[in-house]
Amino acid sequence: MNESSDHLLRSRRSSQSLFSRFQVAGLVVLTLIAVISKFYLPRLIPSAVWLEVPLLLTIYFGLMRPDPVPALLFGAFVGISEDSLSPANIPIGMYGITKTLVGYFAASVSQRFNVGTGVIRLILCFFFFVFHAFFYWVMRRALLDQPVPFDTQQTLLHGAFNVAVALPLYLILDRMKLADES
Amino acid sequence: MDAIFNRYRSYRSLVVLVVVVMAQVLYLAYQVRTQKDERLIRVWAVSAVTPMAGIVEAIRHNTIGFLKDYFLLLDVRDQNRKLKNDNDKLRMENVFYRNQLNTAEHARALTLFQAKTPSRTVAARVIGDSTVSTAKAVFIDRGSTSNIEKGMAVVTPDGIVGKVAAVYPLVAQVLLVTDSTFKVGVESQRGHIHGALNCGSGHCVVEQIQNEEDVAVGEWFYTSGEDRIFPKGFPVGTVISVQPGNGMKDVRLNLSGAPGGAEEVLVVLDGVHQPIPTAVLPEDKMAPPLPPPPDDRQTTSAQPGTVQTEADKLVQKYEQLGKEEDHVYGAMNSNMPNFNVKPVPQQATPPPGAPTAANPATKQPVKPLGSAPVLGAPTQLANPTISTKSLTPTKPAAPKAPLPLGSPRPKPAANETPAVPPPTQPQ
């Protein structure tokens, strides 16, 4: 076992132990804040409709938690919370399924790669945003037969914006984690 | 056994994923198939989130504007340190009251619209958006306790906003007309052409209008009432472009209600259909046509002013006397006319459009020298040397013809004014 693999294992073990300190209540509060931000922020700043704080939180939890089961369950919880505030013509479960998959894949990726560095996290964040938007669009067309337009250029642009928001957000969450450790 | 257990552990996450996703897919299918909305989960979530959002919105609405103005006034105070504190306080109060006044004016506009429209409405405030960015929906601070029911129309004085999609005890969710799944029955103001408004493609388009129909840019569209949501007669928007398409026209509208930006709305509790206003569009308004131009020949022939010389005047006088005494010049057995009788003065025929005694309201505008002719003013005479006095119904000046010897001389009438010579025209 070389030095880099030792570092990787230490890092994973450290993050695992750190993340386990996130209590359920804290996660619920974070989810609530994320959902409210998506619910209310566009009223204050109409151009912030592209902001996907719940998705960023799901990705962060998946990347920091190598075990896919809690990550997918957290994704399902966040998604269903969003679904319950969605328009009544969209049944509950659309965001739930999408974010379940995002949480699972994020945790699976974190099992195989070192996602501790900021650049990799941001690249993955961009990828998962596009995946989330595309999969949600496919589900609305396929399962609900709702002809919703999909704007590729706009999706990529919004993905870049969300990455820009994820950069300070993940730093804050990392700090919270360190504070919790101490 | 351990091998099986270890194998199961390695596939544990995948199994959990499949179970969770399948459970949600089955639940989704159940909702779609039964067309039943899962009310319990939504009520919990809405009840948990909307009070906080309502508090935040109330704080924002009441304080942010005030704080913003306060900091602006702080800047002013820094720049003007010599001003007294009382002055600052008065300014702050002034700004505060101005904000209050703006809010009151907005509420007054809603109240006026409520009083004007025959439909029964209730005012509500938008407190939050939907969590789905592609779906257009907002939450309002009125729910089933305010007698709001699912399917009610939501409008503003400017236009339509949406319909109530879900009702909770204290809040309701409004699906905006800009949502891709929402269609509204509309009708054009001028031609009463019916169509369906659809804003799903990013632009608001009126569908199902055939190419043969006449729709003009700038024309208003109103709700037709055929969707059974919006009462007939509410304004929807104006046409911004019309393009012929494949069988159907591509008519794009600019919504007048600004559904996404409305802060205060009205929920129509009891809708009453209204006729679509028949006001003429500003583009179609035309000035009344001018009267036909006068015939130059008639005008000039009707004028006695064609008389030029003294001989002409004399010939005219004798012709008139002959007509009055039924004498035909040059005819056999015709009586000798009495040339001493004054001819009855003829009424001058005024040109069309000129003021007459029967129509004193039509005043003759004063035409300045060298100015352009005024529309509706009496036409100018063909011969500018003739005075307009000849057009007035006054007695013509009798020529001073020599009387026969022995005939009595006529006394001048008391009220008879001496004839005023026509003013000489400056050459």
Residue A63: burial class (beta carbons within 10 Å; 0-12, 13-18, 19+): buried
B247 and B278 part of one domain: yes
**For residue A132, what pLDDT is reported?**
93
What mean pLDDT, rounded, does chain A reach?
81
With respect to residue B350, please indicate whether it lies within any of the assigned structural domains. no
With respect to residue B156, please indicate whether it lies within any of the assigned structural domains. yes
* Nearest by CB: A85 against B16, B21, B130: B130
Examine the pLDDT at A131 and tell me if it is beyond 90.
Answer: yes
Q: Which residue of A has its CA nearest to B56?
A: A40
Structural domain that includes position B95:
39-116
Q: A145 CA to chain B: closest CA distance, Å?
A: 10
Question: B109 by DSSP, 3-state: which?
Answer: helix
Instruction: Check B56 against A40: CB less than 8 A apart.
Output: yes
B146 and B272 part of one domain: yes
Instruction: Check B31 against A146: CB less than 8 A apart.
Output: no
Q: Which of A81, A54, A70, A57 is nearest to A104 (CA)?
A: A70
- Which of A44, A58, A78, A90 is best to mutate for the B interface (most B CBs within 10 A)? A90
Q: A82 CA to chain B: closest CA distance, Å?
A: 6
Instruction: Check B31 against A91: CB less than 8 A apart.
Output: yes
Q: With cut-offs at 50, 70 and 90, classify the pLDDT of residue B334.
A: low
**For residue A55, what pLDDT is reported?**
92
ipTM (interface pTM): 0.79
**For residue A58, what pLDDT is reported?**
92
The count of structural domains within chain B is 4
Q: A166 CA to chain B: closest CA distance, Å?
A: 18
B246 and B305 part of one domain: no
Residue where a domain stops, chosen among B286, B309, B329: B286
Instruction: Check B131 against A82: CB less than 8 A apart.
Output: yes
DSSP one-letter code for B306: G
Token digits of residue B327: 């004498």
The predicted-structure confidence for B210-262, as pLDDT tens digits, reads as follows 888 888 888 889 998 888 888 888 889 999 988 888 888 889 998 887 777 77
B201 and B327 part of one domain: no
B10 and B57 part of one domain: no
**For residue B365, what pLDDT is reported?**
41
Tell me which residues of chain A, numbers 45 to 64, contact chain B at a CB-CB cutoff of 8 Å.
46, 49-50, 52, 54
Which residues of chain A make contact with B141, given a CB cutoff of 8 A?
none
Q: Are the C-beta atoms of residues B399 and B311 closer than 8 Å to each other?
A: no
Query: What percent of chain B stands above pLDDT 90?
Result: 6
How does B97-107 read in b/e, with b if 16+ C-beta sit within 10 Å? eeeeeeeeeee
Instruction: Check B24 against A76: CB less than 8 A apart.
Output: yes
B169 and B277 part of one domain: yes
Q: With cut-offs at 50, 70 and 90, classify the pLDDT of residue A128.
A: very high
Global pTM value = 0.50
CA of residue B270 relative to chain centroid, distance: 27
With respect to residue B329, please indicate whether it lies within any of the assigned structural domains. yes
**CA–CA dist B129, B141 (Å, integer):** 12
- Phi first, then psi, for residue B198 (nearest 5°) are -140, 120
Which residues of chain B make contact with A149, given a CB cutoff of 8 A?
180, 200-202
B54 and B111 part of one domain: yes
B245 and B127 part of one domain: yes
Q: With cut-offs at 50, 70 and 90, classify the pLDDT of residue A130.
A: very high
The predicted-structure confidence for B378-418, as pLDDT tens digits, reads as follows 434 334 333 434 344 444 444 444 545 444 555 444 444 44
Query: What percent of chain B stands above pLDDT 70?
Result: 62
Instruction: Check A144 against B45: CB less than 8 A apart.
Output: no
Q: Which of B399, B171, B121, B135 is nearest to B272 (CA)?
A: B121
With respect to residue B223, please indicate whether it lies within any of the assigned structural domains. yes
How does B214-240 read in b/e, with b if 16+ C-beta sit within 10 Å? ebeeebbbbbbbebebbbbbbbbbbbe
Q: Which of B127, B123, B176 is nearest to A42 (CA)?
A: B127
With respect to residue B250, please indicate whether it lies within any of the assigned structural domains. yes
Q: A182 CA to chain B: closest CA distance, Å?
A: 31
Q: With cut-offs at 50, 70 and 90, classify the pLDDT of residue B354.
A: very low
B178 and B224 part of one domain: yes
Residue where a domain stops, chosen among B343, B375, B410: B343
Report the alpha-carbon angle B288-B291-B292, nearest 5. Answer: 135
Q: Is A33 on the interface with B (CB under 8 A)?
A: no
Tell me which residues of chain A, numbers 127 to 156, contact chain B at a CB-CB cutoff of 8 Å.
136-137, 140, 143-144, 146-149
Instruction: Check A36 against B53: CB less than 8 A apart.
Output: yes
Instruction: Check B32 against A82: CB less than 8 A apart.
Output: no
- Which of A33, A35, A43 is best to mutate for the B interface (most B CBs within 10 A)? A43
Residue where a domain stops, chosen among B51, B85, B116: B116
* Nearest by CB: A43 against B38, B57, B137: B57
Q: Is A44 on the interface with B (CB under 8 A)?
A: yes
**For residue A99, what pLDDT is reported?**
93
With respect to residue B401, please indicate whether it lies within any of the assigned structural domains. no
Q: With cut-offs at 50, 70 and 90, classify the pLDDT of residue B355.
A: very low
Q: Are the C-beta atoms of residues A116 and A146 closer than 8 Å to each other?
A: no
Secondary structure, 3-state, B133-190: CCCCEEEECCCHHHCCCCCCEEEECCEEEEEEEEECCCCEEEEECCCCCCEEEEEECC
The DSSP code sequence of A129-157 is: HHHHHHHHHHHHHHTS-------HHHHHH
- Phi first, then psi, for residue B419 (nearest 5°) are -65, 135
Secondary structure, 3-state, A71-104: HHHHHHHHHHHHHCCCCCCCCCCHHHHHHHHHHH
With respect to residue B53, please indicate whether it lies within any of the assigned structural domains. yes
Examine the pLDDT at A126 and tell me if it is beyond 90.
Answer: yes
* Nearest by CB: B179 against A87, A143, A144: A87
B274 and B146 part of one domain: yes
The predicted-structure confidence for B280-312, as pLDDT tens digits, reads as follows 555 555 677 787 777 766 555 545 555 567 888
- Phi first, then psi, for residue B200 (nearest 5°) are -75, -25
Which residues of chain A make contact with B162, given a CB cutoff of 8 A?
none
Q: Are the C-beta atoms of residues B137 and B165 closer than 8 Å to each other?
A: yes
B162 and B273 part of one domain: yes
